[in-house]
Structure formats: structure tokens, C-alpha cells
């Protein structure tokens, strides 16, 4: 396996139980930019003659309030045994992206490339 491409694809993000303000929700159907980016990148590479094996992992979900939604304090156990406590249901992007990265890692590729719209986290990290 040459590479795995992993993209975050949140189809709609209300914030879950840590609900967003209405003014910030109208653009949350665009929270799938990472999945769109890696899909487009693979399509471009194929049209340019890519002759290596590449796997595409699209981490798609929505983040809504429902009886099945995760709640503050829930513990998520990933397939690799790592556990994460949910402290903010509006931080779902990194949770679904982690799932894809874990699956991609299991393929033992030469490289993994991921893409995601993690704007809140990026602002905090980079200022």
C-alpha cells in the first residue's frame, strides 16, 4: 500500500448537545471540506496517471441532537483500545478523523495524508 488519504466529512454540524448559535449553523453543511479535498486529490492523481495503490477513507457523519447522540462525559473506545472522554460535543471532527486515521494506520501504508476543517482547533493552536 503506497498511501492512505483520510478526509473529515461532517455533512451537517449543529454542535450536538454543545449546540452552536443559529448564526454559525448556516455554513455547517460545508464541514465536509476534508473529505471533498482528498476525494478531489485522488481523482486528480488518477487523471495524471497515478500507478500506485491508494486507499481513500472518508470519515462521514452528522452532528445532531438525538437519542443516539453522544453526550458530555461519554467515553468513546476506539478499535485500537484508546479511550477519549467527550468534553464538548462540538469537537466531533477530531473524533471521526481519529477513527479514519486508526483504520488507515492498520493498512501499514508508506504515508497517510489527512485533510479536515478543524477551524476552532486550528485557531487555538496557531493563534
Res 87: pLDDT: 95
**pLDDT of amino acid 28:** 83
Output the pLDDT for position 120: 66
Q: Catalytic site residue 20?
A: yes
In this model, does residue 121 exceed pLDDT 70? no
Sign of the Cα pseudo-torsion (7, 11, 12, 18, in order)? negative
Q: Which of 8, 29, 71, 94 is catalytic?
A: 94
Q: Any idea which residue has 476543517 for its cell?
A: 117
| CATH label of the domain that carries residue 94 | 3.40.630.10
The number of domains in the chain is 1
Radius of gyration, alpha carbons of the chain: 16
pLDDT digits (tens, 9 = 90+) for 22-69: 988 888 888 899 999 999 999 999 999 999 999 999 999 999 999 999
Active-site residue flag, 94: yes
pTM (2 d.p.): 0.89
pLDDT at 123 over 90: no
- 58-105: per-residue pLDDT in tens? 999 999 999 999 999 999 999 999 999 999 999 899 999 999 999 999
Q: What CA–CA distance (Å, rounded) separates 82 from 66? A: 25
| C-beta contacts of 104-110 below 8 A and 24+ residues apart | 104/4, 104/6, 104/55, 104/57, 105/80, 107/1, 107/4, 107/55, 108/1, 109/1, 109/2, 109/3, 109/4, 109/55, 110/1, 110/2, 110/3
Helix (H) or strand (E) holding 31: none
pLDDT reported for residue 127:
66
Domain interval for residue 63: 3-126
pLDDT of residue 15: 93
All cell numbers assigned to 46: 488518477
User: What 3-state DSSP class applies to 107?
Assistant: coil
Comparing CA positions, the residue from 117, 120, 109 lying closest to residue 37 is 117
Q: One of 20, 29, 55, 71 is an active-site residue; which one? A: 20
Is the pLDDT score of 122 beyond 80? no
Amino acid at each position: 500500500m503506497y498511501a492512505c488519504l483520510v478526509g473529515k466529512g461532517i455533512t451537517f454540524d449543529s454542535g450536538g448537545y454543545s449546540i452552536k448559535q443559529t448564526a454559525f449553523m448556516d455554513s455547517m453543511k460545508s464541514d465536509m471540506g476534508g473529505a471533498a479535498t482528498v476525494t478531489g486529490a485522488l481523482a486528480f492523481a488518477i487523471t495524471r496517471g497515478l500507478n500506485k495503490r491508494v486507499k481513500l477513507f472518508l470519515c462521514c457523519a452528522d452532528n445532531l441532537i438525538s437519542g443516539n447522540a453522544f453526550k458530555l462525559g461519554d467515553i468513546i473506545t476506539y478499535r485500537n483500545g484508546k479511550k477519549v472522554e467527550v468534553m464538548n460535543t462540538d469537537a466531533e471532527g477530531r473524533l471521526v478523523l481519529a477513527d479514519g486515521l486508526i483504520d488507515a494506520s492498520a493498512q501499514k501504508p508508506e504515508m497517510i495524508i489527512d485533510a479536515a476543517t478543524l477551524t476552532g482547533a486550528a485557531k487555538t493552536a496557531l493563534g
